[in-house]
Amino acid sequence: MLRFTRSIFVFAIGLVCAATAKAFPQSANPAGTTDNEWGYYGHDPGGTRYSPLAQINRQNVTQLKVAWVFHTGDISDGTGGKKRSGLETTPLLIEGTLYLTSGFNRVFAVDAATGKQRWVYDPMIDIAQEYGDGLINRGVAAWLDASRAKGKPCRRRIFEATLDARLIALDAATGDPCMDFGNRGQISLRDVARYIPGEYHMTSPPAVIDDVVVVGSAIDDNARVDMPSGVVRAFDARTGALRWKWEPLPPNDPPSANSSAGTPSGDGKIWRTGAGNAWTAMVVDPERHLVFVPTGSASPDYFGGFRPGDNKWANSIVALRAKTGELVWGFQLVHHDLWDFDTAAPPLLATIEHDGKSVPVVIQGNKTGFIYVLNRDTGVPVFPVEDRPVPQSDVPGEVTSPTQPFPSAPPALAPQKLSAEDAWGITPEDRESCRAQLKAMRNDGIFTPPSLQGTLSTPGNVGGMNWSGSAYDAQRGLLVVNTNNVPAKMRLIPADKFWDEVDKHEEDGEYTRQAGAPFGIFRNFVFAKAHRLPCARPPWGMLSAVDMNSGTIRWQVPLGSFAPDNPAVPQGALSLGGPIVTAGGLVFIAGVLIDPEIRAFDIETGKEIWKAQLPTSGGATPMTYEANGRQFLVIAAGGHAKVTEEKQTDEIVAFTLPRIR
């Protein structure tokens, strides 16, 4: 997980709708929605984030105006015993109603045309509890019970997984709990190995398929070796009964009472770990009855001496049988992770043309900047993947994976090396500051393991690709992705010296104990000392379009700015909040830290053709829909929970075109 310290119609609309329907037929749509609606976090079951709407297009997008603003009323600045909140929700749109969440886990139903509240449900979480991700939630899931008569309570259900580890089912019409689900509308998700309040929580929406609700979890990074289990579970959508569970890591016995080192595994090595959890959004294939689960790092992130081997299935994408939880196939993107290189981006399901054939695939990005294209039925790479030798650890007790998987295509979407000679600075003094920092670190390119002297990680733990994910235009075969280029430093600290270093605090950054390991960790982004800009050559954030049929990059452009009002600062900044694409030939994205704008790009060229000021940065993925004959664009603009320099708001902002009189 991420941790911070500071129309001309290009294609006839009927053709586009038919293509979308072919991929996911209405009969196999668990949400029971139409293509013009937004029934899933990623628009459709496969998470393409593609809308067939084209009322807003490249010719008229500059005429967009604010149609309405909805206030959730939920803001916490982190004072008074409360934790700091963010606003990362992507609403669903079903039958004229938007369903969205706040950082306090309140669920709102809002009129899609007017922005007026219809109902609100408050699960009453403890907003003073320490949640590792802050007070955030990315949205809800919907399910239509086709066996229940129209007009009956809870025929359509809204599911939310909360920060305090509950799964809640609500009547979409009224917001009332579905009393036949679990215990009066909710079930506890705390029955997991090594559960720790606050350190085990939920931030992303569940996935729904074959009448089950599938949930993962968010687990804090680096607190200790034996973090909670990253188990993935499925519950009956009607009753809440547990249907199956799948463990990403092998069973892990707790340490014995007489041992602080752990329990020997069958080969005599110590085996202690946790996590490997699915904290980002999952996607589903209703026709194949598969759930695609992206997993993160095994604990702790930066020392693997107590978890020998590849640590399957952490840092992977796996396909599970929806009815049973059986593992159909798995593909590991990072072996024995030591860099916090989570599979943070949601997977995306598409069909590409390869070697003259139509191939159903899973497209999976990683914080490394790599994109892996895998056959959806088998998990076999469509573009070859080679396991190549990588730098090895010199840390006592660590056994690095000798190789890592490198895809032959597409090319990496973020730089993966940075030499001292290539250090960047806005002034000569900044460049020299960066050179000095880079020279002092171990730096052998991507997959250089953590060290006692300090190691450069490029990309850093923010990515590459993060939870922002990607969007796919099937008509053009283009995948649109936002990536980051902000190098990071990671330095292991011997456990017996850890607290002395924390007290001295000679370096600004994040110190984490990794309790139970022989080393704590210090990490921070590598910035110039004076102007606090990254030491990597800009742009530090990019928007890219990748031709998925050929595995080549079509275009790349800088995205946003760390200092929007200062033209001296180069364009391109870190972003968290992804893109969507539309049949109008547009890419919409906000998400840039510090930069309070939402933008539209021409999908053919990458040219920015519109932007609008938001009340603060839109740290979420936008969505679009049609209501009363008008297309709307909606973005949550509340700031990022971990960026204290940003203004906080509670606003959901909707844009539309002026009415034609």
In degrees and rounded to multiples of 5, residue 504 shows phi and psi of -70, -40
Most distant CA atoms of the chain, gap in Å: 80
- Determine the pLDDT at residue 497: 96
- Determine the pLDDT at residue 12: 32
Whether omega before 477 lies within 30 degrees of 0, making that bond cis, reads no
DSSP single-letter state for residue 26? G
SS3 298: strand
Q: Is 340 a catalytic residue?
A: yes
Cα gap 651→580, rounded to integer Å? 20
Give which of 495, 549, 539 is closest to 520, Cα–Cα: 495
Report residues of the chain scoring pLDDT below 50: 1-27, 255-266
Answer whether 272's CB lies under 8 Å from 252's CB: yes
Instruction: Quickly name the fold that domain 13-256+264-656 has.
Output: Methanol Dehydrogenase; Chain A (2.140.10)
Helix (H) or strand (E) holding 498: helix 498-504
- Residues whose CB is less than 8 angstroms from the CB of residue 123 and which lie 6 or more positions away in sequence, other chains included: 105, 106, 107, 160, 162, 164, 166, 168, 186
Encode pLDDT of 166-225 as tens digits. 999 999 999 999 999 999 999 999 999 999 999 999 999 999 999 999 999 999 999 999
- Determine the pLDDT at residue 2: 43
Residue 563: Cβ-neighbour burial (10 angstroms; 0-12, 13-18, 19+): middle
Q: How far is CA 96 from the centre of its chain?
A: 27
- Determine the pLDDT at residue 270: 67
Choose, from 164, 340, 342, 595, the residue flagged as catalytic.
340
Q: Secondary structure of 266-294 in the HEC alphabet?
A: CCCCECCCCECCCCCCCEEECCCCEEEEE
Helix (H) or strand (E) holding 653: strand 651-656
Q: Which amino acid, 290?
A: L
- Determine the pLDDT at residue 661: 61
Encode pLDDT of 130-140 as tens digits. 998 899 999 99
Query: Which residue bears the tokens 């080969």?
Result: 267
Q: Which amino acid, 543?
A: L
Strand order in the sheet with 552-558: 470-473, 478-484, 541-547, 552-558
- Determine the pLDDT at residue 262: 43
Encode pLDDT of 384-433 as tens digits. 999 999 999 999 999 999 999 999 999 999 999 999 999 999 999 999 99
Following DSSP, what letter does each residue of 237-257 receive, concatenated? TTT--EEEEE-SS---PPPPT
Cα gap 216→346, rounded to integer Å? 13
